[in-house]
A and B are shown apart, each in its own frame.
Chain A
Amino acid sequence: TQLLEQSPQFLSIQEGENLTVYCNSSSVFSSLQWYRQEPGEGPVLLVTVVTGGEVKKLKRLTFQFGDARKDSSLHITAAQPGDTGLYLCAGQGAQGGSEKLVFGKGTKLTVNP
């Protein structure tokens, strides 16, 4: 059973479009992190959200942590080809579980020029 479900699994869009990807769970997390991974590379940390309802912006990327700290979303405005990659969410401190970082399977985003 996957603790963190990410959707969609694959997303292909044109440059300039907006998009939202989701990370959902039935578990409550003490924090949630978003990473971006390019082929052949390790994941790169984008943001950590800690407080329920928290919204963080990173240039054209907007991250939101759900009020109940069970889910999160990543919204990209005016996507660019450089945004192409695998977006992974990872939760920490799942209720009733250990503190290790648990990853979703990711959303593979392709932005076509």
Chain B
Amino acid sequence: NAGVMQNPRHLVRRRGQEARLRCSPMKGHSHVYWYRQLPEEGLKFMVYLQKENIIDESGMPKERFSAEFPKEGPSILRIQQVVRGDSAAYFCASSPLHYTEAFFGQGTRLTVV
């Protein structure tokens, strides 16, 4: 999973600020997935993207959260006006084909103070 790069590894934001989490998939992978993990919990699906397209956003909160995967550059998960409840580890995974085996990055740990 070292091939999927996420940054930053740790992010601290004050309530009301914006958080931007970046994910560069493994070389040759055009499918990206974002997951959220709370302490002692499994991973909750948020969104699935291909280049320039959102395929499945059924796990994304309706407000303040957005994701993109532009033609050039990393995938971005954006959280506007963060609240304490947004504190979690956010993981990105990539796969070469539609919903085949996914490889995860090391995650971004967001702390909202």
Contact = CB atoms under 8 A, between A and B. Distances in A.
B1 A103 contact: no
A19 interface: no
Interface stretch (B13-21, B39-47, B63-71, B73-81): B39-47
Interface in A91-113: 92-93, 98-106, 108
A104 B37 CA distance: 11
Interface string A38-58: 001111110010000000000
15 contacts: A4-B42, A35-B104, A41-B107, A42-B91, A42-B107, A43-B43, A45-B104, A99-B99, A100-B33, A100-B99, A101-B45, A101-B93, A101-B99, A101-B102, A105-B42
Nearest to A104: B42
A43 B48 CA distance: 17
B56 interface: yes
A92 B99 contact: yes
Contacts of A100: 33, 45, 48, 56, 58-59, 99
B107 A103 contact: no
A88 interface: yes
A45 B103 contact: yes
Interface string B83-113: 0000000010100001101111111010000
B33 A103 contact: no
Interface string B2-25: 001010000000000000000000
A96 B93 CA distance: 24
A101 B103 CA distance: 12
Contacts of B105: 42
A33 interface: yes
